[in-house]
Structure 1
Amino acid sequence: MTATAPPAEKAAERTQESASPGALRAWLGRHPLAAYAIRRFGLYLVELWGALTIAFFFFRLMPGDPIQTLIQTLQQNYIYNQQASTELIARYRAEFGLDGNLFVQYLKYMEKLVLHGDMGPSLISYPTPAQDVILRSLPWTIGLLGISAVLSWIFGIVIGAIAGWRREKIGARIATNLSIALSHVPYFFVALILVYIFAYSLGMLPARSAYDSSITPGITPEFIGSVLKYGLLPGLSIVLIGTFSWILSTRMLMIPVLGEDYLLYAEAKGLKGSRILTRYALRNCYLPQVTAFGISLGFIFNGNVLVEQLFNYPGLGTTLVTAIQQLDFNTILGVTNIAIFSVLTAVLILDLLLPLLDPRVKYWK
């Protein structure tokens, strides 16, 4: 006759077994999508940490002393002719996170950034925190470059799909040839042409700034209309070149699909050409084009600096150039970190959504 364990001991044993690594692996095996999401999120955290670390050491190893730049600025603005004391320089170094060796500076910076979201004071707008300077410029960049990038992607996908589907038509040939000729033209060159035509020759649109200085900023029809008017030329230069690039890539992805058996079968069943294009042929272009769009989002923050400079647009590109000129490490790192975070987060989201967009994708197998 054998003794049996009490129910409480059996429950404890089951709890220990369920908490064992083997049970965890079994659960992950039963939920492959959750296992893939956990692995992908862990890789995302490692990539984010690595990219932020590389950016920190890269900019901190740049030649130059931002504290001396600040002292010179104070001398010019406040007629500060006396030599700055050692205590003042030490206080500024501690405030900007430049005291101690490079490893100590890195630990302090990451602690403030991760735990408190503090990027340190901005040199170009001292003593304003760098994150506040960036947040003032961020809406302008998202409003101009973000919307332009989305519009160019949509126009490029639609026109490129039609150009590939009806590649023998004269309109498709014209669109393809224009895309080949203009897809690699720099944004700022197109912007210069548009400024010359619409601003200086015709006088229809303004050439610089983000809105009319005589209008008080606010959520009013007058201010919104001014922002749209002033943002038309820089936005149009980005949309034009971006659209031509997406047309070429979409057409290149569309043409090899047209001879597939499932398209011939759909056509034999009597389906309309528009339905075959949108429901069958175009779906094969989603996977690479959605991934490429997610990667291109990083250029929203730092890929069109010359366009913002040309139009004197108060976005992140202009802020980044000003920060580089004055060795404002905190602001430079802040803009770079936002670009890194945006690209990696967009790629993570797309990786999680791709199995839903294309059922052939089984990354977790």
Structure 2
Amino acid sequence: MSAVAPQLPAPDFDAIEAGTTAAGAVAGRSRIPWRFLGGRALFYLFTLWAAITINFFLPRMMKGDAVTAYLARNRNVTPEAAEALRALLGLDTDTSLWQQYLDYWGLLLRGDLGISLLHGMRPVTEVVGQSLIWTVALVGFATLVAFAIGTIGGAIVGWRRGSRLDALIPITTFLSTIPYFWLGLVAISVFSVALGWFPIGKAYGVGVKPEWSAEFIGDVLHHGFLPAATIIIASLGGWMLGMRNMMLTVLDEDYVTVAQAKGLPNQRVLWRYAARNAVLPQIQSFALALGFIVGGTIVMEVVFSYPGVGKLLLDATNAKDYALMQGVFLVITISVLLANLLADVAYAFLDPRTRQTEA
């Protein structure tokens, strides 16, 4: 009986790297998991339909409506004008709820989110778009900075476990447990009222004309520094603790031990083997955080009087402005679903085990 000669790996094939979760096998790296991605896309389309349906029916289950709240603020509106407003907002009592639902889908497919009574009959897309810019710019930047600092810092703390750097974990965790409204009020009291370094609130100063100029951009950065800093401080502990715990788990894996035994530089073992695998759960959390960026931090926007989507949603809910509520909810829902879909795509390419669902 003749023995079969074993097949040796290619000269440029790194068995340690191929054995890691993040790197995967060389043969499967170029394969696109179409079945997995298609299944996830169908799931998110169904979720989007369910969210839009709930978005339509939920406000109509609330007591009162936008026209009733508008009439309470404007006593001089005639009954005929009130009926015209109901018809314009899709709240006509002569139209069945099912027909209103179909009309709502027809408007959505044409990109029409209705008009907002709270903002003087302006289109909802225009109102939401203006607030969305401020929220994404502030909360998005703060979330990205917190994720980067927390992930890199957590990887270094986990790599140097047992050192003095471990003291960063309880400090950042303690700061993240402080109620945000209290943290924001303390920041305003110290840095705005006592020291006078930063404005108390708003996105830019009174009398400043919004335009692409150095004066306006500097004023926006000056107003946004304090709320952005409080968001970073409040969320840094979670990112750092999560990455540090995953690093402690990954450092006990065999491929890390073998890489160190081969005499590879510590920096390469840290970032190419250990951190590269430990960061995978962080990606999912970061995708969720990106989705909720659009929703904004309502407490932050209320404390700092910031004109973001979160405060817009709160004002729309208090005024029972159905169209504006539905527009904000729709934008938040789509952003969360897209963020989750992007996370699934990233996982499919970074973690070869995800592709096994195709089999």
TM range, smaller chain = 0.7 to 0.9
RMSD: 1.6
Give the paired residue count: 326
Shift of 1:261: 1.4
Measure the CA separation in 2 of the matches of 1:32 and 1:222: 48
Task: Find the aligned partners of 1:303 and 1:120 in 2 and give their Cα distance.
Answer: 22
SS of 1:210's partner is coil
Q: Report matched runs for 1:312-327 at 5 Å.
A: 312-327=305-320
Superposed counterparts of 1:343-358, under 5 Å? 343-358=336-351
In 1, the alpha carbon distance for the partners of 2:47 and 2:258 equals: 44
* CA-CA distance at 1:178 after TM superposition: 0.9
Larger relative contact order, structure 1 or 2 (CA cutoff 8 Å, min sep 6)? 2
1:279-290 equivalences in 2 (<5 Å): 279-290=272-283
| Range with bigger deviation, 139-148 or 252-261 | 252-261
**Contact kept? 2:113, 2:125, Cα under 8 Å:** yes
Return the alpha-carbon distance in structure 1 between the equivalents of residues 176 and 157 of structure 2.
15
Matches of 1:359 and 1:243, distance apart in 2: 29
1:38 Cα deviation from its structure 2 partner: 2.1
Give the aligned partner of residue 67 of structure 2: 67
* Aligned match of 1:167: 161
The DSSP-based 3-state class of the residue aligned with 1:298 is helix
Q: Which residues of 2 match residues 233-252 of structure 1 at below 5 A?
A: 233-252=226-245
- TM-score, normalised relative to structure 2: 0.87
1:126 aligned partner, one-letter code: G
Q: Using the aligned pairs only, state the percent identity.
A: 37
* CA 1:63–1:248: 2 relative to 1, 3 Å: same
Unaligned runs of 5+ in 1: 1-30
Q: Report the CA distance between 1:141 and its aligned residue.
A: 0.4
Contact persistence 1:187–1:304 (CA under 8 A): no
**Alpha-carbon displacement from aligned partner over 1:129-182 (angstroms, at most 9, x marks no partner):** 111110111100011111111111111101111111112111x22111113322
In 2, are the aligned partners of 1:254 and 1:281 still within 8 Å (CA)?
A: yes
3-state DSSP class of the match of 2:279? helix
Q: Hey, what does 2:144 align to over in structure 1?
A: 150
Cα shift readout 1:196-252 (whole Å, capped 9, x = no counterpart): 111111111111111122322111111111100100010001011111111111111
Q: How far, CA to CA, are the matches of 2:107 and 2:345 in structure 1?
A: 30
1:51-98 CA-partner distances (Å, limit 9, x unpaired): 1111221122111121122223333xxxx2xx622x322211111011
- Assess if the C-alpha contact under 8 Å between 2:201 and 2:223 holds in 1: yes
Aligned counterparts of 2:354 and 2:39: Cα–Cα separation in 1? 16
1:119 to 2:113 alignment: yes
Cα gap change, 1:335 to 1:69, in 2 (>3 Å): same
Is the contact made by 2:65 and 2:322 (CA closer than 8 Å) also made in structure 1? no
Give 1:306 deviation, angstroms.
1.3
- Cα deviation, residue 32, structure 1: 6.8
Check whether the contact 1:71–1:84 (CA below 8 A) recurs between aligned residues: no
- SS of equivalent to 1:361: helix
Contact 2:150 2:243 survives alignment (8 Å): yes
Find the aligned partners of 1:269 and 1:222 in 2 and give their Cα distance: 56
**CA distance change for structure 1 residues 255 and 64 in 2, over 3 Å: closer, same or farther?**
same
CA distance in 2, matches of 1:109, 1:231: 37
Q: Distance in 2 between matches of 1:228 and 1:48?
A: 35
| TM-fit CA distance, 1:338 | 0.6
Q: Does 1:106 align with 2:101?
A: yes
1:112 Cα deviation from its structure 2 partner: 0.4
Q: Is the CA contact (8 Å cut-off) linking 2:184 and 2:230 kept in structure 1?
A: yes
* Structure 2 residues without counterparts, runs of 5 or longer: 1-30
Q: Distance in 1 between matches of 2:96 and 2:230?
A: 45
Structure-2 separation of matches of 1:308 and 1:212: 16
Letter of the 2:336 partner, please give it: V
Who is 1:178 aligned against?
Answer: 171
Shift of 1:276: 0.8
Larger Rg: 1
TM-superposed deviation, 1:49: 0.5
One-letter amino acid matched to 1:104: Q
